[in-house]
Amino acid sequence: MNAPKFELPKQPPNPFAVEFIENPTQDQLRKLALEHTPFCFETKYGSINKVARNKSRMAKHTYVIDRGGDASAFSHKTIEPDKAQALIDAQAAYIREAGKMIAVQGYVGVGPYAVPVEWNYTLEGANIAGMQQILSFPRESVEDEATRAKPFAAAFRLFYTPNFHPDMPGGQAIIVDLDNYVTYIMGPDYFGESKKGALRMLAALHYRCGGLVMHAGAKAVHAKGQDLTMGILGLSGTGKTTTTFSKQGEVTQPVQDDMICIWPGGNISVTENGCFAKTWDLREENEPIIYRGTCDPSAWIENVYVDADGTPVFDKSVLSPADVARLEAVLVGTGAPEANVKAYIAGDKKLEEVLDANGIPLDGWDFVKWSENGRSIIPMSAIEGAADLHAIPKLRSLGILNRDEGRDAAMPGLVRFTDPAQAAGYMMLGETSKTSAAGKERGKTRSPFTQPFFPLAHSLQASRFSELASTFDETTMWLMNTGYVGGDAKAVNAGDALKVKIRHSSAMLEAMLEDRVKWTEDPDFGYQVVDVDAPENAALVEKVPREILQPRLYFQAKDRMKEYEAWVAQLKQARRDFLAKYDVDDAIIKAVVH
């Protein structure tokens, strides 16, 4: 593969003649957020919490402008240029009427592949500006003194207006102009739209320059006398951030928690100067780095429950009538039906009346359970032991997380792929179970390379990955189940399933990194699994149950082999159908279905 050609696009002058608050400090942004952003509150730690209308990213309201008349060229919904321009013009009128914007100028990434970005927000988005400034790299980390003396030259630009609601479904629209590298965000008030707005454009630019942006965490690991980077792919909720911050080998240093780009030869470029972590059930004993970073005064948090005394509560689920009464203005102001809120406070509606059989709130009653998709934005400076992002070792380990859940959950705890074709197939599948980050939706899902933000045709990812993998030196590729075997949390409590715990994941990864695993071929899928009977694996089997390492043993012991065999047959067909839909090479499909 030829060396990549990297040329930055150039933005014209900012089109708005309004007052700009350019690159305010974090202290200034906190003051602006408390003054102008609805439902922003200071916690007892000094961090700022925003309770948003949106509890997750709105992919269904994201549209790429299709000027070529070929929607198949994109993985997102598309919109006609004239319709897009009408929405952009309406947003522009709102901005002119507002008369003031916050401009954050910084970089996505550092080093030779860094991209300068200008994010622009109306004042009600001050909290989002503060979060984005944390994750972007400042000019001084990328530019020399002579360049810093010149006006900032943006390659990408975003305009974000949380309180402008366009005439579109849901009163929201994210319009993506990949030809000009501009994104217009109208209506959402969730930080993820800002973060992904730039990263989506980065995915298009880096693909066009010969790289591949991957929805993956990364950590630098020193093991067996060598320095390497481990990449960890995973959809939201699979444990990508948790795995990134767990320790393996002699030394482990977090690099990125969400997005990296891979280049020929296993070279890596980073994207963000901090961490965007889920906070549900966050505990210091399980995730000390993320917990302490989240409780640092420099952090911003979003959609986290906060007690009356300002203490964030990371495992809050059901709200009592008293809780709802205290938070009535916030809940109604972020979309809860006022009549339902008052009925719950008054006791006219009981909790059990507004939950379905699975414990999920009925429509109009979401407010009785606090969102599990709380988030924290932590600067790299508050992440203990973080790597030097200017000197990242080459990629030598790349894996994908599958948070398997349900009665048919049977993915092994750890899988090693036998060749690049098999690895490419499973990465293209991007299998997991949907979690709280998907809102109310539950069940199994697939997303190519776990990358719902790649805006071009998803089939391009498989071919580009194959090209890049052919240039790597020896790189171990693997899959890890971070969910369950044989059921879900309820089944675990009833003794009818097993949970893959954080300590299990760490033990499996450490054994693999230190080359202490003896592998055996899985008879159904052809990938390699841990040989639970090999003496060489005795220490690992002491730490991780045999049935997690080889779920077939669990189903045998529970006299559920008919279920297991049906799962194998169904899964092979579903995987074949999914890969064929994206015109994946036959050799990759054969490697997956065995």
Confidence of residue 440 (pLDDT cuts 50, 70, 90): very low
Amino acid at 71: A
Residue with tokens 């990125």: 256
Q: What is the residue type of 312?
A: P
Domains and CATH numbers, the chain: 19-41+58-209 (3.40.449.10), 213-273+389-593 (3.90.228.20)
Percent of the chain with pLDDT over 70: 97
* Chain segment 226-283, per-residue pLDDT in tens: 899 999 999 888 988 889 888 877 778 999 999 999 999 999 999 999 999 999 999 9
In this structure, are residues 130 and 47 in contact, taking their beta carbons and an 8 Å threshold? Answer: no
d(CA 519, CA 531): 5
Q: How far apart are CA 395 and CA 257, in angstroms?
A: 15
Instruction: Look at residue 382 in the predicted model and tell me its pLDDT.
Output: 93
Tokens describing residue 356:
């379905």
Whole-number pLDDT of residue 1:
55
pLDDT band at 151 (very low <50, low <70, confident <90, very high): very high
DSSP result, 414-434? EEE-SSHHHHHHHHHH-EEEE
pLDDT at 436: 43
Per-residue 3-state assignment (H helix, E strand, C coil) for 525-561: CCCEEECCCCHHHHHHHHHCCHHHHCHHHHHHHCCCH
Contact (CB, 8 A) for 302 and 188 = no
pLDDT of residue 226: 85
Relative orientation angle of helices 459-469 and 420-429, to the nearest 10 degrees: 150
pLDDT at 386: 92
Supply 537's token pair: 């694996």
Q: State the CB neighbour count (10 A cutoff) for residue 379.
A: 19
Give 2's pLDDT tier (boundaries 50, 70, 90).
low
Q: What is the pLDDT of residue 438?
A: 41
The DSSP bridge partners found for residue 268 are: 262
Determine the pLDDT at residue 273.
Answer: 97
Could you tell me if 108 and 198 are in contact, meaning their C-beta atoms sit under 8 angstroms apart? Answer: yes
pLDDT of residue 470: 87
Amino acid 433: pLDDT: 87
pTM exceeding 0.85: yes
pLDDT digits (tens, 9 = 90+) for 94-127: 999 999 999 999 999 999 999 999 999 999 999 9
Amino acid at 540: L
Angstrom distance (rounded) from CA 149 to CA 144: 9
The reported pLDDT for the residue numbered 439 is: 44
Sign, Cα dihedral of 170, 174, 175, 176: negative
pLDDT digits (tens, 9 = 90+) for 492-537: 999 999 999 999 999 999 999 999 999 999 999 999 999 999 999 9
Summarised one tens digit per residue, pLDDT across range 58-103 is 999 999 999 999 999 999 999 999 999 999 999 999 999 999 999 9
Residue type, 358: N
C-alpha 153/C-alpha 118 separation (Å) is: 9
Per-residue pLDDT for 553 more than 90? yes
CA distance 450 to 233: 7
Q: What is the DSSP string of 239-279?
A: SHHHHHHS--SSEEEEEESS-EEEEGGGEEEE--SEEEEE-
What integer best gives the mean pLDDT of the chain? 94
Residue 78: name the closest of 191, 170, 198, 178 by CA. Answer: 178
d(CA 412, CA 248): 20
Expressed in percent and rounded to 5, the helix, strand and coil fractions of the chain are: 35, 25, 40
Nearest to 242, CA basis, from 584, 523, 506, 556: 506
Element (H, E) at 484: strand 484-485
Q: Quickly tell me which residue has 């899902």 as its tokens.
A: 445
Please give the DSSP secondary-structure letter assigned to residue 171. G
Rounded Cα–Cα distance for residues 215 and 117 (Å): 20
pLDDT of 12 > 70? The answer is yes
Which of 3-7, 290-294, 581-585 is least confident? 3-7
